Amino acid sequence: MTKHLTGIMNRIMERIISGEYSDKLPPQDALALALGIGRSTLREAISKLEGFNIVLCQPRSGTKIMPPSEWHRFNPEVIAWHARLKDPAAPALSTKSFDCSVVAAWKDFPSPRSRQP
């Protein structure tokens, strides 16, 4: 994944974490304009986030933001994003800075099996 694409994903995640985007992402045209990027680049970033189960693209319904308990637990970026959900002041982490603070966040990451039906 390129640094540019990772940066776009981080910007989208910052808006999800801050609560600016709560249930759904804005329409792709508006989001691409807000981020100052092209729609094809945005679609690639959203596709990666969908691969981490952070969002779910639904034709004609928009891009739904999944609950954090549904996010992929074993990806270092997802773990870092989850840590920032718990503490928005936490620094953004890269895979190079995967350290004890990230492991501690991982320990507290909700397990999909612990959900109530």
Single-letter amino acid code for the residue at 97: S
pLDDT at residue number 45:
96
Tens of pLDDT, residue by residue over 22-51, are 899 999 999 999 999 999 999 999 999 999
3-class state of residue 62 by DSSP? strand
Q: What is the pLDDT of residue 66?
A: 94
Q: Is the whole model's pTM more than 0.75, yes or no?
A: no
Q: Report the pLDDT value the prediction gives residue 38, as an integer from 0 to 100.
A: 94
Half-sphere exposure of 76 (CA within 13 A, CB side): 11
- Full DSSP string of 72-106: -TT-HHHHHHHHHHH-TTSPP--GGG--HHHHHHH
Average pLDDT value for the chain: 79
Q: pLDDT band at residue 83, thresholds of 50, 70 and 90?
A: confident
Higher pLDDT, 26 or 72: 26
pLDDT at 88: 61
| pLDDT given for residue 84 in this prediction | 72
Give the contacts of 54 (CB within 8 A, at least 6 positions apart). Answer: 13, 16, 65, 66, 71, 78, 81
CA proximity to 9, closest of 34, 40, 46? 46
Q: What DSSP designation does 24 have?
A: B
